[in-house]
Structure 1
Amino acid sequence: MSQQEGPTPAGPRFVLASASPARLSVLRAAGVEPLVRVSDVDEDAVAAALGPDATPEHVVTALATAKAREVLRALSAEYPHGGVLDDAVIVGCDSMLHVDGRLEGKPHTPEVARARWEVMRGRSGALLTGHCVLRVHGGQLAGEVADHSTTTVHFSSPTDADLDAYLATGEPLKVAGAFTLDGLGGWFVEGIEGDPSSVIGIGLPLVRRLLGDLGVGVAELWAANRT
């Protein structure tokens, strides 16, 4: 489906500041076809700048905020005379797994993913999801809100053969915590306590609340960003 580039009078254009196909899938299932823009934020640099005393909640919220702001900067250069930014909301996201006092993002390599699963097997972790929403009117930032949600994930104990096969798919290398709820990793999740959509990557209840803080209702999003 092609993405609408221009503004719509029915409500603000929803801009997703993320390349995550899982987040896009959640939004589409929830009735929103977002305009996708990916930030060039150096996540490691942002996290390092926060210092060693930053809480996990602060880290994921700061990363989500950095991504949303960077996409706003890029769109401002792309549309200097308005366009999408005549009326828009930009949503930045970041998810990380907190287990054993460590905050884990994407493992990137099979070795790192395996080491994380050795720790996670048969245990529980806190999946932290940070979101930042920017409200843009007439090309100018009109409001910004950010917060996080926490969902407890209970992991099973996959056999060595199952874990080898899962790692070989490449899926756990590209996702926070080295697992998915909505993909192959769902076989190894015993249960969750909290918001399922936040585990997938974008917490609909939290985003709805943040949008409400900026005066935007879900019905407006459905009208302006139909799938």
Structure 2
Amino acid sequence: MTAALGALLMIIDHVGVVFFPGQMGFRLIGRFSFPLFAFGIAQGVTYTSCFPKYLFRILLAAVISQPIYRMTFYINSLNPLFTLALGALVLRLFRMGQKQQIIALVLLVFSVWLKSSYSWYGVATIFLYGFYYCAREFSFYGQLALQMIYGLATGAWIQSFSICAFPFAGRIWKKQILLPRYFLYIFYPLHLLILIGIREMIY
């Protein structure tokens, strides 16, 4: 259900960007999307039976999506799937041992120079969601501090609304929507192609 909700909110956000760029309501709603995907990545790192294959699937979707992402938003940065992949790697390494934790922290610092959507903020969000169940207060207050740092560093205070997604991330829903195993990998580039198609028909 969390993944389905994240996908729906992402569509709303992207519809706003493509068709209603002056309407901030779409963007505010969309701020709930990335944290839900970050939580999903953290859970994926925890429960995947083969992390290399899991990471490969994210990277493959990222590479396939990149030209579509550029055509959709007219920007040259890497799409957020690259950020999700790096965040997954950082969290995985951090959990492996002391030596790997050093590498994880180096990669976290490296993400400051990563030219991708959400970049270091996204990687840090995934890392903090990795403590959602084992250290919930650290996860929450860490993200609260992260919103402040990101706002001060970029001036994009609208992103601070994403902290409101925290209680929804790990919520157990009464009704579950079970998505196909590879749905989200296909959904990301597919929904962008649909938006491009609609835009071309309208304009």
Task: Say yes or no: TM over 0.5.
Answer: no
**Whose helix proportion is higher, 1 or 2?**
2
TM-score normalised by length of structure 2:
0.28
User: If you compute each CA radius of gyration, which structure gives the higher value, 1 or 2?
Assistant: 1
